[in-house]
Amino acid sequence: MSLSKDKNWWRQAAIYQIYPRSFADTDGNGIGDLKGVTSKVDYLASLSLDAVWLSPFYPSALADGGYDVDDYRNVDPKLGTLADFDEMLAALHNAGIRVFVDIVPNHSSNLHQWFKDAIAAAPGSAERARYIFRDGRGANGEIPPTDWPSHFAPSAWTHESTWGGKHNQWYMHWFAPEQPDWNWDNPEVEADFLKTLKFWADRGVDGFRIDVAHALKKDLSEPLRMRATMEYDAPQNLDGTGILMDRNEVFEVYRTWRTLFNSYDPPRVAVAEANVHPSRLPLYASENTLGQSFDFRFIDAAFTAQNYKECVSQSLELAKKNNSSTTWTLGNHDQMRYATKLGLHPIVDRNDWLLSHGQSHPVDFEIGTRCSVAANLFILALPGCTYIYQGDELGIHEVADIPFDQVQDPLYLRNLKQAKGRDGSRVPLPWTRGGTNFGFGAGTPHLPQPKWFADFSVEAESGISGSPLEVFRKALKLRRELQCAEEITWHETTSEDVLHFSRPNGWNCITNFKASKYPMPAGEIILASSPLVNGKIAAGSTVWFKA
């Protein structure tokens, strides 16, 4: 299959996120690799995907799962080589699947050559000016320069002596200390990222997922302001004048990137990971900036008809504002598996549950998986672009019982162990029911796989009518055939727990969230997430039909 020639291919695409280290391991080092992705191209093609997005595969010491990048224009030797990348890209393109890579522009890693140069250089040097170094407060500079918080540690400042620096300065990091923030006021930094984008675009990469797209520009004017707020709805963040996030200046960067993207044929596309107030998302998704932005509204919306309808209506309205299309996403590598969210009683504190290794409350695997497949069919029928996280097509659950001494996530390691973090959705995928490491690879997987993975393996679900995988396969294939104008019409239902909408070509989607069995409207059923019961739609089911 060849790549579509449509320049707007991304508007209503199905895009699958690969977390490469946990996808497939061909060299037996326990870590997935690029050859692993190549070895699964047939599987990816069987899902009728328009594109895959690869989380970082760059050289990294994995202080934050690869989002700590040592070298933006290379492949981590543990995952392969640039030649492996080219081979993978060609194989995916041959199968009609486009490729996004992850760009991490807010911070590098502490092992990036430029950070090492900065630590070795003196205050005021050009090397230090690429990052955010400042003197501390207090008589001996022993107090961090400001009170700015970090996502992964109490303070956003770490003393340079941590890495052997001898000049008594502090540097800023929004995430882990191993992730020093770039100084985006420095033209050298801007030029280097243009070089990186060009490097991958020239290799044939079709799009970019932009990590923490809202954080690049900070207010670094002196004296540094205090009391930065991470609340995305704080007034200063709503008008783009906050200290650390979502500042209006960031769009200047993205306008420059857009000029580069548009110099390619077809233009390269991008999607922003911007954790900002929804009213600010159109600025990232504008056709003059990144073109598309994740809308994370569904990720934490309770599985109810009312919430889902609200999310859809608000999101579609926003997308119209910038001539972009909407994005829908239920999971990613930062989230608890969606099936588990829906299988846990809504009042359960997920963090506490994870800290208890999943022992504090039962999770209903069956309900969770069933509802998550129903939720996926719901979003797949909506106009716009859908992002699917690897394994969600299997209805797989969170691995809650990773022993603490094997947890890798800095969220756990750095946050005084108050949160267990995100490893539970990053456990290497089960390909086979049995065999070594469920077919992931010969070496011990970098995160432990539970026994119950057998039932959620690709092998266990393949060819089984009604399994999550087969429902996804059908849904994605049909979706491609049925795709039409980006509009929906809501239809009345006789239950407040049931939503029914249709697309302009007569493609109907009805979801019963939790009502007792709901009568199936007249029409030709084309797909059901779970079988009808005496002609009725059971709770936790979605049906697609032609009216």
Q: What is the rounded distance in angstroms from the CA atom of residue 13 to the CA atom of residue 29? A: 33
Q: Please state the closest distance from residue 303 (CB atom) to ligand GLC, in A.
A: 23
Which residues have CB under 8 Å from 460's CB, separation 6+? 433, 454, 467
Interface stretch with ligand GLC, choices 64-72, 122-130, 282-290, 476-484 (CB under 6 A): 64-72
Q: Please state the closest distance from residue 132 (CB atom) to ligand GLC, in A.
A: 16
- The secondary structure of residue 518, as a DSSP letter, is E
Q: What is the rounded distance in angstroms from the CA atom of residue 293 to the CA atom of residue 297? A: 12
H or E element that contains 270 = strand 269-272
Q: Please state the closest distance from residue 425 (CB atom) to ligand GLC, in A.
A: 11
Q: Please state the closest distance from residue 530 (CB atom) to ligand GLC, in A.
A: 32
Going residue by residue from 77 to 116, which x/- string records binding to ligand GLC, judged by CB under 6 A?
---------------------------x------------
Which residues have CB under 8 Å from 219's CB, separation 6+? 225, 241, 242, 243, 244, 247
Q: Please state the closest distance from residue 56 (CB atom) to ligand GLC, in A.
A: 9
CB atoms within 10 A of CB 490: 12
Residue showing the smallest CB distance to ligand GLC in the complex: 67
| Choice between 65 and 207, CB closer to ligand GLC | 65
Sequence letter at residue 269: V
Contact between 447 and ligand GLC per CB under 6 A? no
Q: Please state the closest distance from residue 273 (CB atom) to ligand GLC, in A.
A: 6
| Choice between 33 and 334, CB closer to ligand GLC | 334
Q: Please state the closest distance from residue 211 (CB atom) to ligand GLC, in A.
A: 5
Q: Please state the closest distance from residue 145 (CB atom) to ligand GLC, in A.
A: 22
Q: Are 499 and 301 in contact (CB under 8 A)?
A: no
Q: What is the rounded distance in angstroms from the CA atom of residue 144 to the CA atom of residue 456? A: 48
Task: Tell me the sheet residues that pair with 270.
Answer: 208
HSE on the CB side for 20, CA within 13 Å? 33
Contact between 389 and ligand GLC per CB under 6 A? no
Q: Please state the closest distance from residue 422 (CB atom) to ligand GLC, in A.
A: 7
Q: Are 223 and 169 in contact (CB under 8 A)?
A: no
Contact between 232 and ligand GLC per CB under 6 A? no
Going residue by residue from 164 to 203, which x/- string records binding to ligand GLC, judged by CB under 6 A?
-----------x----------------------------
Contact between 67 and ligand GLC per CB under 6 A? yes
Q: What is the rounded distance in angstroms from the CA atom of residue 260 to the CA atom of residue 194? A: 8
- The secondary structure of residue 324, as a DSSP letter, is -
| Choice between 84 and 211, CB closer to ligand GLC | 211
| Choice between 65 and 267, CB closer to ligand GLC | 65
Q: Please state the closest distance from residue 80 (CB atom) to ligand GLC, in A.
A: 21
Interface stretch with ligand GLC, choices 42-50, 63-71, 153-161, 219-227 (CB under 6 A): 63-71
Interface stretch with ligand GLC, choices 62-70, 283-291, 296-304, 382-390 (CB under 6 A): 62-70
Q: Are 18 and 54 in contact (CB under 8 A)?
A: yes
Q: How many helical (H) and strand (E) elements, i.e. helices and strands, does the chain have?
A: 15, 17
Token pair belonging to 414: 């750095």
For the segment 202-231, give every residue that binds ligand GLC (CB under 6 A).
Answer: 211-212
Helices 187-203 and 82-94 meet at what angle, rounded to 10?
A: 50
- Number of residues interacting with ligand GLC: please give it, by CB under 6 A: 10
Contact between 64 and ligand GLC per CB under 6 A? yes
Q: Please state the closest distance from residue 222 (CB atom) to ligand GLC, in A.
A: 27
Angle at 293 between CA 217 and CA 48, to 5 degrees: 140
Q: From its phi and psi, is residue 357 left (phi > 0), alpha (psi between -120 and 50) or beta?
A: left
For the segment 319-358, give every residue that binds ligand GLC (CB under 6 A).
Answer: 333-334
Residue 354 burial by Cβ neighbours in a 10 Å radius (0-12, 13-18, 19+):
buried
| Choice between 84 and 178, CB closer to ligand GLC | 178
Footprint of ligand GLC on this chain (CB under 6 A)?
Answer: 64-65, 67, 104, 175, 211-212, 273, 333-334
